[in-house]
């Protein structure tokens, strides 16, 4: 397996820039997620790392070797596509064995490795079946088997579960993560599903419009988003923003929104102008003594919890509270925010101000 390092990689298609000077490192054995909406550049980044596209500029290192201008065949990686890409005229075992046969491996050794991979994936009973009659989940296992059998330096996966239904997708994501843990493989995985990324990834790169917005472990990205895009893209419901014009100085530990003073982590950066206070729905509580108030306009029952939507003077607020708490549409409630979790954003740049909470966590390109 291998460490993968990306340094200032840029990819242009004519006048269109798909990836803008991306830099990050994937450590040996990590399950690494490239996350973002459609068209953000995540698949282009993956294809550039794999050698299916060559970068316009920048460097790509796999296991310490610069491979940026080398074709995919010289990078020793295995690629798993969303649409399986299996050979329909071959049986399951033949599909898995194909890469080994292409390399001239002996029949005996090929059979041994195919049987070993089939056992890992739990598909021993379908090795002699044609792929045409398989379920989507079994086809994906076969595609994974064909990648695993080569024992490459890294696995690259482009939304491999995208064609599966929701229930089976969740099951397969658990299997994929368990398989990764057993093999200790370096895996790079593209997805637009933030829940999938949070559940499966050791590290996440969040991309938007070809730019790396943030890079880090899932909890840091969720708790301390570097940009307003990350704050709104990750989380369901997403982070609340209370927008206001004002000034906060370096060292401040309170901010005034309207006429209400709200506590926050001590700021390392000051700013003035158009600002926003960001807070996650689970960190909003109702408190009659609070001077900041909102009117309940909707409730959404989710079993053990409920989402309450309130209209306030500086923006809509969603609160995640126990479903046993009784609130009624039309009520005006005092709102309390957990001071330890608040992030202040410069809305003109869309970036978070450094604070005692997020210092050392923020990483955006």
Residue 339 φ/ψ region, left for φ over 0, alpha for ψ in the -120 to 50 degree band, beta for the rest: alpha
- pLDDT at position 278 is 98
| C-alpha–C-alpha distance, residues 363 and 168, integer Å | 34
**What are the angstrom distances between the C-alpha of 253 and each of 242, 256, 265, 284?**
17, 10, 6, 18
| Lowest-pLDDT choice from 149-158, 197-206, 337-346 | 149-158
pLDDT averaged over the chain?
Answer: 92
- Ordered DSSP codes for 201-244: -SEEEEEETTEEEEEE-HHHHHHS-SBHHHHHHSSSS--EEEEE
**Percent of the chain surpassing pLDDT 90:** 73
- Contact indicator for 307, 320 with CB cutoff of 8 Å: yes
Domains and CATH numbers, the chain: 4-223 (3.40.50.300), 229-363 (2.40.50.140)
**Full-model pTM:** 0.88
The pLDDT of residue 165 is above 80: no
Q: Is the pLDDT of residue 176 over 90?
A: no
Report how far apart the first and last C-alpha atoms of the chain are (Å, whole number): 27
Question: Where do the DSSP E strands lie in 249-331?
Answer: 254-257, 260-263, 271-279, 284-286, 293-301, 305-312, 315-322
- Residue 362: both structure tokens together: 């923020």
For the stretch 75-114, pLDDT in tens is 988 888 766 678 888 899 999 999 888 888 899 999 999 9
Task: For residues 321 and 306, give the distance between their C-alpha atoms in angstroms, rounded to a whole number.
Answer: 6
Position 120 confidence tier, pLDDT thresholds 50, 70, 90: confident
pLDDT given for residue 89 in this prediction: 86
* Predicted confidence (pLDDT) at residue 365 exceeds the cutoff of 50: no
pLDDT digits over 241-260, tens only?
999 999 999 999 999 999 99
pLDDT digits (tens, 9 = 90+) for 17-44: 999 999 999 999 999 999 999 999 999 9
């Amino acid at each position: 397996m291998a460490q993968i390092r990306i340094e200032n990689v840029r990819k242009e298609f004519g006048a269109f820039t798909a990836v803008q000077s991306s830099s990050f490192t994937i450590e040996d054995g990590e399950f690494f997620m490239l996350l973002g909406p459609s068209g953000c550049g995540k698949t282009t980044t993956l294809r550039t790392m794999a050698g299916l596209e060559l970068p316009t500029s920048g460097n790509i290192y796999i296991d310490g070797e610069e491979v940026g201008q080398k074709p995919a065949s010289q990078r020793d990686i295995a690629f798993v596509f969303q649409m399986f890409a299996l050979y329909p005229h071959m049986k399951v075992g033949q599909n898995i064995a194909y890469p080994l046969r292409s390399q001239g491996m002996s029949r005996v050794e090929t059979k041994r490795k195919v049987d070993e991979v089939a056992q890992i994936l739990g598909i021993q009973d379908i090795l002699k079946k044609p792929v045409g009659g398989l379920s989507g989940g079994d086809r994906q296992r076969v595609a994974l088997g064909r990648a695993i059998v080569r024992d490459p330096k890294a696995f690259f996966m482009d939304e491999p579960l995208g064609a599966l239904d929701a229930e089976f997708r969740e099951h397969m994501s658990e299997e994929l993560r368990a398989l990764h843990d057993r093999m200790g493989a370096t895996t790079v995985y593209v997805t637009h599903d933030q829940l999938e990324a949070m559940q499966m990834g050791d590290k996440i790169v969040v991309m938007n419009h070809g730019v790396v917005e943030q890079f880090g472990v899932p909890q840091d990205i969720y708790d301390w988003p570097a940009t307003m895009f990350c704050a709104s893209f990750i989380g369901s419901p997403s982070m609340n923003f209370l927008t206001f014009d004002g000034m906060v100085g370096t060292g401040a530990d309170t901010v005034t929104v309207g006429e209400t003073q709200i506590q926050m982590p001590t700021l390392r950066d000051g700013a003035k102008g158009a600002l926003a206070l960001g807070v996650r729905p689970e960190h909003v509580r109702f408190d009659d003594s609070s001077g900041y108030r909102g009117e309940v306009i909707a409730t959404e029952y989710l079993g053990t919890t409920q989402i309450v939507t309130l209209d306030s003077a500086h923006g809509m607020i969603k609160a995640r509270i126990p479903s046993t708490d009784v609130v009624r549409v039309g009520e005006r409630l005092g709102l309390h925010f957990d001071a330890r979790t608040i992030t202040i954003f410069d809305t003109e740049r869309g970036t978070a101000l450094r604070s005692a909470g997020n210092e050392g966590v923020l990483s955006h390109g």
